[in-house]
Amino acid sequence: MKKRTLGQGLTVSAMGYGCMGLDFGLGEGVDPAAALGTIRAAYEAGVTFFDTAEVYGPLTNEKLVGEAIESFRDEVVLATKFGFVIGEGTRGLDSRPEHVREVVEASLQRLRTDRIDLLYQHRVDPKVPIEDVAGVVGELVREGKVLHFGLSEAGAETIRRAHAVFPVTAVQSEYSLWWREPETSILPTLEALDIGFVPFSPLGRGFLTGAVSADTEFGERDIRRTIPRFTPDAMRANQPVVEVIARLAAAKGVTNAQIALAWLLAQKPWIVPIPGTTKAHRIRENVGALDVTLTPVELASLTEAVEAVPVTGDRYSPAAAAMIDR
């Protein structure tokens, strides 16, 4: 497995694995035994960078990941997140320092570990100064309970303010061929500060692979039911993006997923995607993207062709979009 380095010298496998969909977010999930096998299959494929969060489940995903990696814990980089209120009814944001400490202690127990390699603030809490958040994470690092600090869906100003208090190792946000907003201010900020970037949903929540279409019916627990970009009309309008990717994939004898991931990997050497899947053979397919080389001409042609398609639909529901830091 090839390696890449995020900020603060944190070296990880060049392809990570997002564990969320195993039991949360994209449907009913899979049987726990199968989920454990999938995580272990990722490790066997060379993946050593695993991403979870307390809110996934909620609380169940961390337990699943902790059990799956226990036998090879010291050989992997484990990332999790804090920042939500977990309870009945509506979940709000809570990054008060005392709450961050409570979450870390509980996550350590669920993950069956004595330290979290990379701890992200899941969403920026407008009620808590980011300096206070960076400060408490810095304390947890000095105590050995956390090794690195990360931010998720944070704006450029927030990243700079946090980094001035305690060094940020990585920022996680959505980024793919059909969502390129991070190129405007996030990627330049990260490059200037030597911070790594971890794109989630690098395959457009499955759309870029061609696996879902306007005819797909999403289950009750599938968050894509709430996302404007996944209405039948939006998917029909966005289908030309998939067709552009498919043409290049066919010409190179690879899959849509491998083209989409190879495009991401080619953007910056400090970008590490974390595609998620419930199937071991898809993990191997995703890892195979590391061996796909796109020439400068292919990259330019692919980018230009996708840019020519006006993508229809927002990437989040209004409620979820309200939590994104600008």
Residues catalogued as catalytic: 56
> Is the Cβ–Cβ distance between 179 and 204 less than 8 Å?
yes
> Is the Cβ–Cβ distance between 19 and 65 less than 8 Å?
yes
Reference 15, options 320, 224, 236, 287; nearest CA is 287
Helices (H), the chain: 32-44, 60-69, 97-111, 130-142, 156-165, 186-193, 232-252, 256-267, 280-288, 296-307, 318-321
> Is the Cβ–Cβ distance between 84 and 106 less than 8 Å?
no
Distance of alpha carbon 254 from the chain centroid: 23
Phi first, then psi: give them for residue 97, nearest 5 degrees.
-50, -40
Distance of alpha carbon 171 from the chain centroid: 10
Q: State the Cα–Cα distance between residues 92 and 108, nearest whole angstrom.
A: 22
DSSP state, 176? B
DSSP state, 203? T
> Is the Cβ–Cβ distance between 97 and 64 less than 8 Å?
no
DSSP state, 51? E
